[in-house]
Each structure stands twice: as C-alpha cells, then as structure tokens.
A and B are shown apart, each in its own frame.
Chain A
Amino acid sequence: MLISAEWLQGLILSCLVLAAVAPLVLLLLWVRDWRQQGLW
C-alpha cells in the first residue's frame, strides 16, 4: 500500500509551515522572558 502523492504533499507542507512558525514562537517567548527579567 503506497502513500498517495496528495498525502505526501500534505504531510511535507504542513510540517514545513509548522517549522516556519517555530522561530517566531521562540523569539516572542525570549522577548517576554527578557522583559520580565526571567531569562534565568
């Protein structure tokens, strides 16, 4: 049973979008912690 082209494309594109958002999440959290003087 082979994975279809649509499923493969959906899998790869959704992961690409998730990965693209990740740096923004980290940077926003960093700014929040830094403003609260809570980096460490």
Chain B
Amino acid sequence: MSSAYALTPQLGLTLVVLFGAGWIAFGYWLGRSNRSHEDFALAGRQVGLALAAATAMATWVTSNTTLVAPQLTYQFGVWGMVGYSFAALGLLLFAPLAKRIKQLMPGGYTAGDFVRSRYGKPAWYLFLVISAVYALAWLVSLGMAGGILLQALSGLDYHLGMTAILVICVGYTLFGGFKAVIATDFVQAVIIIIGVVVVAGLLLTQVSVTSVHEQLTQQHPQLLDLLFPAAIMFLFNNIFFGLGEIFHSNVWWTRALSFKSQVGAKAFVLGGLLWLPIPIVTGFIALAAPQLGIFPPSADMVGPMVAAAVLGKVGAVVVFVVVFSALASSLDSLLAASADLLTRDVYQQQLRPQANDQQLLKVNRYSIVALGILTWLLCLPQLATLGALLNFAGAFVASTIMPIILGLYQPKLTGSYATAAMLLGTCAGLVGYLLIGFYVAALLSCLISSSICMIGVIRSRSRFDWQLLQQRQD
C-alpha cells in the first residue's frame, strides 16, 4: 500500500515528531516571560507591525486555502479560486474596525466583552452560541484536515494525523500563550508562502497554464466558465462568509486588542494583501488535476495529491510542511481565542467575577486543554467534507456582520434588534443551506440580518453612549 503514497509512513511520522517537538519547544521558550493573564492572553497588548501582519495573514491561511481552495477550484473552476481570494476582503475591511475596537475598548479582552457591554445579555448569550458553533466547526475542520493530509501523503491512519496536530498545537499554545501563537504564526506565514510559491513554480515548469486551459476547454469547460451559476453564488456567499468569520470571531478581536494602537489597521491591510494571491496559486494546482489524470477519491485531497504526483517525494514533503503550518497557524489561534472566551465570558462573567489574575491564567490553560480534547472527540468520526462543515457555520456567522459594524459605529441600534437580527439571520441561512445549498447560507443570513438591523436603526429613538464601553470594561 505504501507505494501508492508520496511519503512512507515512517517519513510522515518523522516529520510530525520533528515539527511537533520544534513548535512545542519554541512555545515553551516564548512563554517564559508570561507573568500575567494579560501577557498570556494578549501578549501584553504591544504587538508590532511585522508580527501583527504575519499573524493576520497566517491565521487566515487555513485548511480553507491549502485544502479547500483546491477542492473548490476542482468543483467550481476559476470562480472557485477567485471566490476564495475574495475572502481577503474580510481582513481588509476589518482594518478600520480593528482601529475602532482599540479606541473604544483599549482594556477589553474579547468580542464577547463588546457584545455584552454594547447590546446586553440576551444578545451576548446568542453571540456566544454563534461563536461556539463557528469555533467548533473550524476547530473540527482543522483537526480533520490534519488527518486527511497525513493520510493523503503518507498513508498513515487519519486518526493518527488528526491526533498529532491537535497535541502539537495544544502543547505550544498551552506553554507559550498568545506570544507563542503569533511568533509561530510569523514563521509559519513565511513557510506557507515560500512553500506555495515553490510548489506552483515547479508545477509550472512541468504543466503550462495554456495546456491546462486547453485540456479543461475540451473536457471540463464548466471549470473555465465565467457564468457558472453555482460558482457565482459561491463567490458572493464566500465574501459574506469571510466577513462574518472575521468580524465576529474572537480570533480577530484578540488580535485587534493585542496590537499596538497605531498598528492594527495597517497590519490587517497588509495581511489581507499578502493573503490575496494564495488561494489562486493553490487553486491552480487543482486546475491541473484532470490533465495529470488525477481524480481523487475525495475532493479535498486534490491539492496534496497533485503536488505529490508532480513533484514526487520532495514536493510531498513541501506540501506536508506548508499544509501543516497552515493548519497549525489557525488551530493555535482558535484554541487561544476560544479559551479566552471561555475564561473571560463564561468563567469570569458567569461563575467567578472576583477571580484573581492567577486564577484566570490557570483557567485559560485548562480551557485550552479542554477545547483540544473536545475537538479530538468530534474529529473521531470523519463525518463531513471540510467545505461542507465550514459552510454550515456560514449561516451563523454572516448574521453577525451588521450587528458588529453598526455596534461599533451606529449608536442607534439597540440590543433587541441586534438579537433579532442574529437569530432570524441564522435561521434564514440554515433554511437556505438545507433547501438550496451551502453556497447561499451566508448570503441569506446576512441579507435578513442586515434588513432587521436597518429597521432597528430607522425605528430606534435611543442613542448608545460610547463612554459606557470603556466604563464597563473598567
């Protein structure tokens, strides 16, 4: 069996062990200077531009861009990869929001802090449910992607790869906290970009774009069709999904709060620009699949299989390193940000308001381990493809886009309208997901939620006092 794979199981395992030991040791080394919960959760709130831009870019390069972008290109053709690259809009448009967040609540910890202070408890509870659904869907898709990667490249059991990536990420996040997350993100960002460029560059020396185009025109013309209806729906859906993911998720809020005051907006713009070409470059790898005679058993294996088939063992090692880095850079961020939500929004706000700094630090670490175990349990049955799993969450997150934007800039939107917008938007998205397809879930969710928010702004007679945000954090 091992001859069917680009790497031997032994080499696959060796790479996992080497990577794991390296990242965990690095995390331990970085974590030595953590003294307080603020150091652990937000890296002391003084992150500079280089690390800030790299962590924004690397966190957004996930299984989406390295496994799902090729998968969607394989399914939707040109619009699949262009649609994915439009997700960079999420980072670019979050730039002004990041600046505003830091201005309004410089002492804040989480996105939940904002929603609770701005809209009240009902909206906060609903927001936590949405955050939990999204975080779990993303965590599970990342864990699954680790297993799929190892299986596709080396034939190692899915469960082994999935367990390995979870143990490694939990390990270095646990030891190093947010400093480890952003420092490893920097290294991982550089590895990801260089790796993707090397694989695509070498692929181009063997398969020309013209020949790929010729082959697709004859055998799969729909992949080159600029009017492919499902693909165009996917394009717009993906924009709203990306905006929802970034605007609501604590992964990005903790970044906005941890970057230096003048750095936040610049970092997100730069991160977005650096991210923009990656899905198109990885998508090209999938477009070459039919010409190479590769028809993977599962669409999300197309990227690794093409690279491994064309570039042999070295290519497979590069793909392994790139995808592993991409997965780790998102998984660590999500573990850290979700653990912050559990610590701040659940433990401190609901269970022990008088908890001291060391107790918060301890609970934050326990939360990271608990999330790791929960993700592992949910990944055990490999239930859905990566794309389907993530797009299910699109129905939830897109409902938060307008409540977040208006919550930051428009004082007239009240908590009751924000709650209704998130609730009904999510329901509409789920109906669309079930009755039409995954490619309309985020679109419908955002449409309904935005309409309710607009009605709320028009009808409202009250105005929120922005000073309350600062006071409620203090």
Contacts and interface: CB of A to CB of B under 8 A. Distances in A.
Given A1-B225, A18-B276, A23-B193, A8 B78 contact: yes
Nearest to B189: A26
A12 B274 CA distance: 15
Nearest to B221: A2
Contacts of A22: 57, 193, 274, 277
A14 B111 CA distance: 36
Contacts of A34: 50
Interface stretch (B41-49, B93-101, B361-369, B398-406): B41-49
A22 B46 CA distance: 23
B43 A26 contact: no
Contacts of A3: 78, 224, 226
Interface stretch (B7-15, B206-214, B244-252, B411-419): B206-214
Contacts of A29: 49-50, 53
B197 interface: yes
Interface in A1-40: 1-5, 8-9, 11-16, 18-20, 22-23, 25-27, 29-30, 32-34, 36, 38-40
18 contacts: A2-B217, A16-B200, A20-B193, A20-B197, A22-B277, A23-B190, A23-B193, A23-B194, A26-B189, A26-B190, A29-B49, A30-B50, A30-B186, A32-B50, A33-B50, A38-B48, A39-B51, A40-B47
Given A9-B210, A22-B274, A40-B179, A16 B281 contact: yes
Given A8-B209, A38-B48, A26 B53 contact: yes
B50 A1 contact: no
A25 to B, nearest CB: 7
A1 B226 contact: yes
Contact of A15 (B214, B225, B281): B281
Interface in B176-204: 179, 182, 186, 189-190, 193-194, 196-197, 200-201, 204
Contacts, number: 103
Given A2-B217, A18-B277, A33 B78 contact: no
B162 interface: no
Contacts of A2: 217, 221, 224-226
A26 B274 contact: yes
B118 to A, nearest CB: 28
Interface of B: 43-44, 46-51, 53-54, 57, 78, 82, 85, 179, 182, 186, 189-190, 193-194, 196-197, 200-201, 204, 209-210, 212-214, 217, 221, 224-227, 260, 270, 274, 276-278, 280-281, 284
Nearest to B198: A20
Contacts of A33: 48-51
A3 B278 CA distance: 20
A36 B260 CA distance: 14
Most chain B beta-carbon contacts within 10 A, residue among A1, A11, A19, A27: A19
Nearest to A2: B224
B48 A39 contact: yes
Most chain B beta-carbon contacts within 10 A, residue among A16, A36, A40: A40
A28 B298 CA distance: 40
Given A8-B209, A18-B276, A18-B277, A30 B224 contact: no
Contacts of B43: 40
Contacts of B48: 33, 36, 38-40
A32 B274 CA distance: 18
A26 B209 contact: no
Q: Lowest 9 A-B CB distances belong to which pairs?
A: A15-B277, A29-B50, A30-B50, A5-B213, A33-B48, A9-B209, A15-B280, A38-B48, A18-B277
Given A16-B281, A19-B281, A30-B54, 12 more contacts: A3-B226, A5-B210, A8-B212, A12-B280, A13-B209, A14-B277, A15-B281, A19-B277, A22-B274, A23-B189, A25-B274, A26-B189
B397 to A, nearest CB: 26
B200 to A, nearest CB: 6
Contact of B186 (A4, A25, A26, A38): A26
Contacts of A36: 48
Contacts of B227: 1
B225 A5 contact: no
A23 B224 CA distance: 30
Contact of B197 (A9, A14, A16): A16
B217 A12 contact: no
B278 A19 contact: yes
A20 B200 CA distance: 11
